Amino acid sequence: MKSRIILIIMSFVFLLGGCNESSQETANLPEDALRMLEVENEEREINVYGTHKVNEDLVLIVFRGVMNDEDIWLADVHKEDGQWKAKEIFQMNGPFEGNGEIQTLIINDDFGYEVGYIESNVPITENLNVIEIDDIEDWKIWIKQSTSFNVATNYLEEKEFSVISHLKGESIILTDEMINQLPGKLSWSVQEFNVEDYIGKEVEIEYFNINNHAFDSEQEETMVSVIIIDGEVVGGNSYKPVEKGMRGANGIYSLDGKKQYQNK
């Protein structure tokens, strides 16, 4: 997982070890996976303060009740083979002094979410899912997802591509030079929409590795980009290794792999 974590906590590794030694209990709900984090103290009560659904197979849970009744944790809970499992645990005991009113603790590039702290007196924007903790008045935990990431992921799934990993996302302002000069024209010339209509517009592009693509027979994974304008997918590209002796343009195709750049 491509997570950038600002603070590394020793107990984080300890908890993952505990998860691996857990019993064979079933976890049919995301919250059920929390029972398996503290095998040696089955009587400890898990208090869940909030959840955030990233996608159908990933839920983030903020809770107390592991190791002691004071520490606050964020569990990264995944669904595998029909069962929910806590894959990573992050300690969330409060903001760091002097680092601002809104602090980012975790950035997960694979699934397009961020987690951090916000002071209680700061106005909450619509893109934040804010979770309050009992007995804590000064700060809260926030979770945010990239809108373009969700739009792109949903589109790929609707087209029956299998998403393996998220590589990166970027935002650009489309210019005439980008679409008419190399190297940009290699990607834009294979689109099915009139690219010139969007010059001057903000364009968001999300990059993934996928399977179930036309190039599966030639490579284990296919890198694709998904182009989003005004919140909607308008196109994209797929890429495959350039044949020996050929120019780079020969590796750039439309998202479905059916249209290739033609040098005119």
Q: Which two tokens stand for residue 263?
A: 């040098």
- Compare 118 and 45 and report the one with higher pLDDT: 118
Report the relative pairing of strands 202-211 and 162-173 from DSSP bridges: antiparallel
pLDDT at 108 (0 to 100): 84
Q: Could you tell me the pLDDT band of residue 17, with boundaries at 50, 70 and 90? A: very low
Mean pLDDT of the chain: 84
pLDDT at 4 (0 to 100): 54
- Compare 20 and 63 and report the one with higher pLDDT: 63
How buried is 43 (Cβ within 10 angstroms: 0-12 exposed, 13-18 middle, 19+ buried)?
A: exposed
Instruction: Give CA–CA dist 139/121, Å, rounded.
Output: 8
Q: What is the mean pLDDT of residues 101-125?
A: 89
pLDDT at 3 (0 to 100): 56
Cα dihedral 172/198/193/155 (nearest 10): 50
Highest mean pLDDT among 30-39, 137-146, 163-172: 137-146
Q: Which two tokens stand for residue 226?
A: 């998904």
pLDDT at 49 (0 to 100): 97
| pLDDT tens digits along 124-153 | 988 899 999 999 999 999 999 888 888 999
- Is the pLDDT confidence value at 159 over 70? yes
